[in-house]
């Protein structure tokens, strides 16, 4: 059964049946939340606060990988790290309904961080430092980051499909080759001998300010990586990104020392993220939710802008490491 077909089967009755299979009793109110890779819903309960039901995209992660994510979140919660952990029912956090895995968690309300807010950047650095300090043991089942391989695989999938206009392919191949060469050179200068567990996708939408405390959400992409992966996404294109970086690192070092050699990896991860994003949209384009949410993906304008964005990575190369 394809992932799209499985998600199309998530009609309200199926969602409610899944939630109630854990022993909860719903009030039949369902509200879909923004999530494209998985499917996430707020489900109302009788005489209780609503829960968040997350249905995992089939064939993306193995059961062992999802369970390792859940075990990590429960351990972090036990250590006092502000995360949203899955709810347990009779000792279980992962459930299977209609051949699709799902989990429930409590609803968290609040606001996402403000871009360029230096006080909040310091707090985010503190939170990520606390997270990394608590996540001391490398993952066994989750993936390990490999930026060059990500770029290679993502670019190959783009070039082998029909979405990138044929007239742009030669220029795209040249730009990918230049980025790959520069990334390889930077990784040759520094790459850690041992990777560490990281959140893997700690952008602003995966953080929530709740009761004056930032919480980390959605550990779907947790992996073995490097510390800077969880920091660089909070840098914005302002006149003084160094000040932003200084606040983040100062907060981080409240818990752990930060190896400044990792700053040279920022452009590597930025390049990989840009290429992967386009490949991700292409890979999921069979999913009706993606067609509706990203109607501009198949346009020439999108691919021209994507190519220009890759060229901007080359222009910004190494700025943060100097």
Residues identified as active-site? 201, 218
Query: Alpha carbon 213 to chain centroid distance?
Result: 21
Structure tokens at 311: 């060229």
| 8 Å CB contact between 233 and 270 | no
For residues 76 and 134, the answer to whether their CB atoms sit within 8 Å is yes
Which SS3 state, helix, strand or coil, does residue 247 take? helix
Residue with tokens 């695989």: 153
- Residue the block writes with tokens 């309960």: 45
DSSP symbol at 112: P
Tell whether 218 is in a known binding site.
yes
Distance (Å) of CA 105 to CA 74, 249, 296: 11, 31, 33
Cα–Cα dist 287/283, whole Å: 9
End-to-end CA distance of the chain: 50
Taken in order 111, 116, 119, 120, the sign of the CA dihedral is positive
CA dist 299 and 146 (Å) reads: 30
**Per-residue tokens: 159:** 């070039």
User: Which helix or strand (DSSP H or E) is residue 44 part of?
Assistant: strand 39-45
305 labelled binding-site residue: no
Q: Give the other-Cβ count within 10 Å of 189's Cβ.
A: 11
Helix (H, G, I), strand (E, B) or coil at 87: coil
Binding site members: 206, 218
Binding-site residue set for Mg(2+) = 206, 218
């Amino acid at each position: 059964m394809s992932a799209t077909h499985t998600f199309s089967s998530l009609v309200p009755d199926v969602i409610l049946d899944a939630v109630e299979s854990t022993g909860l009793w719903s009030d039949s109110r369902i509200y879909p939340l923004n999530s494209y890779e998985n499917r996430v819903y707020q489900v109302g309960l009788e005489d209780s606060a609503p829960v968040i039901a997350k249905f995992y995209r089939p064939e993306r992660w193995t059961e062992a990988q999802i369970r390792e994510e859940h075990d990590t979140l429960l351990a972090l919660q036990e250590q006092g790290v502000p995360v949203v952990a899955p709810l347990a029912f009779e000792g279980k956090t992962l459930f299977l309904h209609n051949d699709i895995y799902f989990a429930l968690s409590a609803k968290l309300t609040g606001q996402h961080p403000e871009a360029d807010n230096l006080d909040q950047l310091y707090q985010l650095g503190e939170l990520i430092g606390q997270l990394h300090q608590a996540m001391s043991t490398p993952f066994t089942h989750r993936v390990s980051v490999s930026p060059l391989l990500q770029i290679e695989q993502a670019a190959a999938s783009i070039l082998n499909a029909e979405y990138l206009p044929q007239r742009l392919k030669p220029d795209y191949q040249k730009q990918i080759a230049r980025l790959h060469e520069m990334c390889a050179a930077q990784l040759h200068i520094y790459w850690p001998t041992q990777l560490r567990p990281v959140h893997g996708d700690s952008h602003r939408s995966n953080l929530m300010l709740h009761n004056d405390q930032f919480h980390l959400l959605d550990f779907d992409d947790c992996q073995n990586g490097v510390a800077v992966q969880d920091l660089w996404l909070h840098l914005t294109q302002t006149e003084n990104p160094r000040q932003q970086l200084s606040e983040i690192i100062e907060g981080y070092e409240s818990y752990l020392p930060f190896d400044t050699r990792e700053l040279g990896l920022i452009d590597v991860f930025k390049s990989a993220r840009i290429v992967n994003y386009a490949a991700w949209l292409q890979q999921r384009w069979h999913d009706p939710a993606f067609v509706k949410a990203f109607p501009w993906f198949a346009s020439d304008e999108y691919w021209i802008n994507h190519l220009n964005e890759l060229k901007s990575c080359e222009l910004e190369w190494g700025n943060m490491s100097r």
